[in-house]
A and B are shown apart, each in its own frame.
Chain A
Amino acid sequence: MKNIFLLVFFSTIIFSSCKKEVLKQNVYDNVYYEVTPVTLYTSNAEKNKQKSSLQYISILFSDLFNQNIPGSDLNNIGEAILSIGDKGLANQLILERFLTLPGISIPTQTQMQADLNAFITSTYQRFYLRNPTEYEKIYLKNLIQNDSNITPEIVYAAFALSNEYMFY
């Protein structure tokens, strides 16, 4: 009886002391900018909702300037969009305006050419919130390498006006 009691006693001590401590841990293994941790899509097939005009503009502003768009600007841009029947055209004009504003975060032509792989990957992450596939990386790299007149602004504009950027 005494042995059984000791066995239970020591078992309790041993098993309770070995209880595994579980810590909830968020691991961001696909982080970009090192500013705001954002989980990336694993593929563009996950995007199935279309952004509204205001969502598009506010996200575009954030992507280009690394900050939230001021509320007054968003209201005014909303009115500008409402005043134009072709919303795609409105988006294009606003994007073109954004690309000339001071404070935009965009690499220079030299920086782009210096490390095309890094530029392509970071631009995919910035606009599409995903990494490029190998095919996409190679194709875009060839395109840029073969045409020295392709500027970062043109690449950014193409991303921002593409169908994938309209979805989340």
Chain B
Amino acid sequence: MKRRSFIKKAGLATAGTFFAPYILPSGRLFAAAGDRIVNHVVLVLFAGGVRHQESVGQAYLTYQGANSGNIMPNMFSGAMPSSNLLYTPWNPIQGSSLATQGTFFKELEYAQGPTGHYNGHTAAITGNYTDVGTNLAINPDFPTVFEYYRRHNDPAKSAINAWWMSEGLGPYPALNYSKHGMYGPMYGANYFRPYSTFGNIGLDYLNNGLTLQPDDVGRLNSIKNFFDSNFDKSASDLPGIINNSTDKEAIHAFMKDVLNRTQNGTVDFPLPNGIPTYEMTGDLINIQYTWEVLKNFHPELTVINTFNLDTCHSDFTGYLRNMHKADYGVGWLWNKIQNDPVLQNDTIMICMPDHGRNDLPNNVYDANGLRAFDHTSDANSRRVFALIVGPPNKVNQNLSLGSAGNPVGQTIDIVPTIAHILGFYDQIPSGMLPGQVLTQAFI
């Protein structure tokens, strides 16, 4: 009897040993494919440091001693300025503002860490605040949303499903994967900085290359495979992500096509009719090529940023102009998404700044005599907003949350919210993400 009991207990213990590693923080035994709200997420980091006053507050020139008005009519509802126009108004491309097409977190908090651009981006992309210096071109310590997405989806997703597109270089190319030991480049996202990839440098050094027919590619690979079989090391330590061969060929073909169309001037521009292409900003270029990626690959997770608003350190007029243009770009992108047969009604777009800007101006005046603003971690520079827009049967429409002094949500909540939308939040190990899912946005 005792022997039978021993065998039974030993059997259970052995079974437990096999099963224990698969008990997830959620209490589930296995990583079930989670329920998704939609299959595509686009996160627009409306970055460069946006003052709450001129964005959500629609203050326009109020803090310069003049009139108010909404210069972001695609994102927010409100009348545009009627006088003292320092920019050329572009008619909004959205019939009704994005705030009415989803849930508007009017007052979101950037709670910890310096209000630097790298810190703000890192907090938004990793879901963890960071104190790391702003000018270090290093991969973040905590896993990025791309790594969570690729590692914790079942079946696993290849990198062609995850994209990070940045307006500038500097430290930003390093945000497509972390240096976390459990994640890293094998779960990273594809990355472009379109201004370089598809701009003059791309046209000079990446375009018009030798075109190999599929048979020739086979010949090349056959010879290369022979060489590689005679060498015992692999170039797997190349910095950056490595696509599988199928995805690599697809991205290669995509790049050649887009470079050709750029050269021929046949890439869609996020500009209103009649506006010349010299009105393009770096932000709009990033949005323009993000759309090329979206329409070609229909990735499930895409993160892009704007950045030109940062001219506010010395040029308040330029800040207003760039904000107005970037707002148009976001509206244009959403319009494109809504007209794509794969993405329409199956995409949620989230817009959020990296951080805000100071309450008080610095000592710089621009050419129009307007005061400039920095972002040095004062309380005002921690005030941001978030828009979560999507299909009416999935996302609460025309809902506005939070107010001055009563923030709802933090910037670190975006990663868990994306994980929730794409159905892998419960698979992320506990303790990795301190933020919460912004459940208020979803039906």
Contact (A77, B196) CB under 8 Å given A149-B219, A158-B227: no
Asked if B400 is at the interface (CB within 8 A of a chain A CB), the reply is no
Asked if B261 is at the interface (CB within 8 A of a chain A CB), the reply is no
Contact (A87, B216) CB under 8 Å given A79-B196, A82-B193: no
Cβ contact of A48, chosen from B222, B233, B242, B248, cutoff 8 A: B233
Segment of A6-14, A31-39, A107-115, A159-167 in the binding face: A159-167
Contact (A161, B224) CB under 8 Å given A76-B204, A82-B196: yes
Q: Are A159 and B219 in contact (CB under 8 A)?
A: no
Residues of chain A within 8 A (CB-CB) of B237 are 50
Asked if A53 is at the interface (CB within 8 A of a chain B CB), the reply is yes
Asked if B35 is at the interface (CB within 8 A of a chain A CB), the reply is no
Residues of chain B within 8 A (CB-CB) of A100 are 208-210
CA–CA, A92 and B204, complex, Å: 15
Max count, chain A CB within 10 A of own CB: residue among B194, B196, B238, B251? B238
Asked if A118 is at the interface (CB within 8 A of a chain B CB), the reply is no
CA–CA, A167 and B189, complex, Å: 26
Q: Are B196 and A83 in contact (CB under 8 A)?
A: yes
Contact (A89, B252) CB under 8 Å given A80-B201, A161-B220: yes
CA–CA, A98 and B176, complex, Å: 28
Cβ contact of B233, chosen from A47, A95, A159, cutoff 8 A: A47
Q: Are B231 and A163 in contact (CB under 8 A)?
A: yes
Chain A: number of interface residues, binned into ranges: 35 or more
Residues of chain A within 8 A (CB-CB) of B201 are 76, 79-80, 83
Cβ contact of A83, chosen from B173, B189, B215, B248, cutoff 8 A: B173
Residues of chain A within 8 A (CB-CB) of B164 are 85
CA–CA, A23 and B83, complex, Å: 89
Interface SS, A side: helix
Asked if B13 is at the interface (CB within 8 A of a chain A CB), the reply is no
Asked if B212 is at the interface (CB within 8 A of a chain A CB), the reply is yes
Q: Are A94 and B219 in contact (CB under 8 A)?
A: no
CA–CA, A96 and B173, complex, Å: 24
Cβ contact of A157, chosen from B202, B210, B233, cutoff 8 A: B210
Q: Are A85 and B191 in contact (CB under 8 A)?
A: yes
How far does the Cβ of B141 sit from chain A's closest Cβ, in whole Å? 19
CA–CA, A164 and B223, complex, Å: 13
Q: Are A163 and B228 in contact (CB under 8 A)?
A: yes
Residues of chain A within 8 A (CB-CB) of B210 are 96-97, 99-100, 153, 157
How far does the Cβ of B196 sit from chain A's closest Cβ, in whole Å? 4
CA–CA, A85 and B230, complex, Å: 28
Asked if A147 is at the interface (CB within 8 A of a chain B CB), the reply is yes
How far does the Cβ of B216 sit from chain A's closest Cβ, in whole Å? 6
How far does the Cβ of B208 sit from chain A's closest Cβ, in whole Å? 6
Residues of chain A within 8 A (CB-CB) of B211 are 96
Contact (A85, B227) CB under 8 Å given A79-B196, A153-B210: no
How far does the Cβ of A125 sit from chain B's closest Cβ, in whole Å? 14
Asked if B67 is at the interface (CB within 8 A of a chain A CB), the reply is no
Q: Are A157 and B220 in contact (CB under 8 A)?
A: yes
Residues of chain B within 8 A (CB-CB) of A154 are 212, 216, 219-220, 223
Q: Are B205 and A76 in contact (CB under 8 A)?
A: yes
Q: Are B190 and A85 in contact (CB under 8 A)?
A: yes
Cβ contact of A162, chosen from B192, B215, B231, B238, cutoff 8 A: B231
Q: Are A86 and B205 in contact (CB under 8 A)?
A: no
Asked if B226 is at the interface (CB within 8 A of a chain A CB), the reply is yes
Asked if B92 is at the interface (CB within 8 A of a chain A CB), the reply is no
CA–CA, A159 and B226, complex, Å: 10
Q: Are B233 and A163 in contact (CB under 8 A)?
A: yes
CA–CA, A94 and B209, complex, Å: 8
Contact (A158, B223) CB under 8 Å given A79-B201, A153-B210: yes
CA–CA, A48 and B237, complex, Å: 12
Residues of chain B within 8 A (CB-CB) of A143 are 222-223, 226
How far does the Cβ of B236 sit from chain A's closest Cβ, in whole Å? 9
Q: Are B176 and A85 in contact (CB under 8 A)?
A: yes
In the complex, chain A residues 37-90 whose Cβ is within 8 Å of any chain B Cβ: 44-45, 47-48, 50, 53, 73, 76-77, 79-80, 82-90
In the complex, chain B residues 230-250 whose Cβ is within 8 Å of any chain A Cβ: 230-235, 237-243, 248
In the complex, chain B residues 176-217 whose Cβ is within 8 Å of any chain A Cβ: 176, 188-197, 201-202, 204-212, 215-216
Residues of chain A within 8 A (CB-CB) of B235 are 50, 88, 163, 166-167
Residues of chain A within 8 A (CB-CB) of B190 are 85-86
Q: Are B224 and A85 in contact (CB under 8 A)?
A: no
Closest chain B residue, CB of each to CB of A124: B227
9 residue pairs A–B, Cβ–Cβ below 8 Å? A50-B237, A76-B204, A83-B169, A84-B197, A88-B235, A89-B255, A147-B219, A154-B223, A167-B233
